């Protein structure tokens, strides 16, 4: 691409999401671990979450969300050139979940791979796909955040099992009119916080030996207080960094779609950015934390409800294990 050639504007052509039908409420959890509905609601804002059925995996959720996004975009799945699945709960370590999804939606032309940035994965994947498409070498990308969190949760650990749910969200990206689409992004990572959100076992460092499984190293572990402090700081900061250079201010944001981890984190972000509650998109009361899927699920919901209008400024922001964070600013 020549220095004088402006890359095309890339934006969202369609959205889709899928939540497995099985619902696990806080009252169900009261029968499983030492907790209460009131404790969960007051500290997290979560009332219920969706859980995969027996035999259902990450790619099943992602493929359904992907099909719905393609349908909304008016794009045949065969026309997709790139598939990125943001997940850290893959069907298998090899092959990638994205390849399973490619097969399930009937696509044979796309290159496909998984991206692992925990709960920030969707923001990372949207940014990556945007620049692939802006190169002019590819026309359409399917970006999916899909997680089967329940497969990696210790249901005897009340510190984590009350937080997470399963689901998938997806967007189709392609060229949009100049001035619209993805305007900017801001990504970051701090590997010094590697131990704050981690699945310690079943990788190359601590393989899936009987001893590792006996120690429950195959399950997610989290230092909740440390993560909370990090998230409260980084969410507002990431949005501010992403806005820089766009000519927009916090007051221009019509919709803030934050990672759905904790209502107190979301409210703190809204306060820092001086956004009224009606501009904050919240659905964690019904979905729990679906990691990389939270933002595209929430986005799909408000799009299908007709809340997002032409020209609206939408800010996406996430944080997650790594530690990682990311924000994207879009004009609808």
**Catalytic site positions:** 119, 259, 289
Residue with tokens 């500290």: 43
Is the Cβ–Cβ distance between 11 and 174 less than 8 Å? yes
Three-state secondary structure call for residue 233: helix
Helices marked H in 164-305 — which ranges? 210-214, 224-243, 263-272, 284-287, 294-304
The DSSP call for residue 218 is: T
Q: Sort strands 221-222 and 197-198 into parallel, antiparallel or unpaired.
A: antiparallel
Q: φ, ψ for residue 225 (rounded to 5)?
A: -65, -40
**Residue 29: CA count within 13 A, CB half-sphere:** 32
**Tally of CB atoms within 10 A around 179:** 9
CA angle centred on 328, ends 101 and 239, rounded to 5°:
140
Three-state secondary structure call for residue 210: helix
Report how far residue 42's alpha carbon sits from residue 264's, in angstroms, rounded to the nearest whole number.
9
Report how far residue 172's alpha carbon sits from residue 83's, in angstroms, rounded to the nearest whole number.
9
> Is the bond preceding residue 95 a cis peptide, omega within 30 degrees?
yes
Sign of CA dihedral 50, 55, 61, 67: negative
Report how far residue 11's alpha carbon sits from residue 235's, in angstroms, rounded to the nearest whole number.
22
């Amino acid at each position: 691409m020549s220095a004088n050639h402006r890359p095309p504007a890339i934006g969202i052509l369609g959205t889709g999401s899928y939540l497995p039908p099985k619902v696990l409420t806080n009252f169900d959890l009261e029968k499983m671990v030492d907790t209460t509905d009131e404790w969960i609601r007051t500290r997290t804002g979560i009332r219920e979450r969706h859980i995969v059925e027996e035999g259902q995996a990450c790619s099943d959720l992602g493929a359904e969300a992907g099909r719905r996004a393609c349908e909304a975009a008016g794009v045949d799945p065969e026309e997709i050139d790139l598939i990125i699945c943001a997940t850290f709960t893959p069907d298998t370590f090899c092959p990638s979940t994205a390849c399973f999804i490619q097969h399930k939606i009937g696509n044979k032309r796309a290159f496909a791979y998984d991206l692992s940035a925990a709960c920030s994965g969707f923001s990372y994947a949207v940014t990556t796909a945007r620049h692939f498409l802006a190169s002019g070498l590819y026309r359409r990308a399917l970006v999916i955040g899909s997680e089967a969190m329940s497969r990696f949760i210790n249901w005897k650990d009340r510190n984590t099992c009350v937080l997470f749910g399963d689901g998938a969200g997806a967007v189709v990206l392609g060229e949009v009119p100049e001035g619209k689409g993805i305007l900017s992004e801001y990504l970051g990572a701090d590997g010094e916080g590697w131990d704050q959100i981690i699945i310690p076992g079943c990788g190359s460092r601590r393989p899936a030996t009987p001893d590792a499984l006996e120690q429950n190293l195959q399950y997610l572990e989290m230092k909740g207080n440390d993560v909370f402090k990090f998230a409260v700081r980084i969410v507002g900061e990431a949005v501010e960094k992403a806005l820089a250079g766009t000519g927009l201010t916090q007051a221009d944001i019509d919709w803030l779609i934050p990672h759905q981890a904790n209502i107190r984190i979301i409210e703190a972000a809204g306060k820092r950015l001086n956004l009224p509650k009606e501009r904050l998109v919240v659905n964690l009361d019904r979905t729990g934390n679906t990691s990389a899927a939270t933002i595209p699920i929430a986005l799909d919901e408000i799009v299908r409800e007709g809340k997002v209008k032409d020209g609206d400024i939408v800010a996406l922001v996430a944080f997650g294990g790594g530690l990682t964070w990311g924000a994207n600013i879009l004009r609808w």
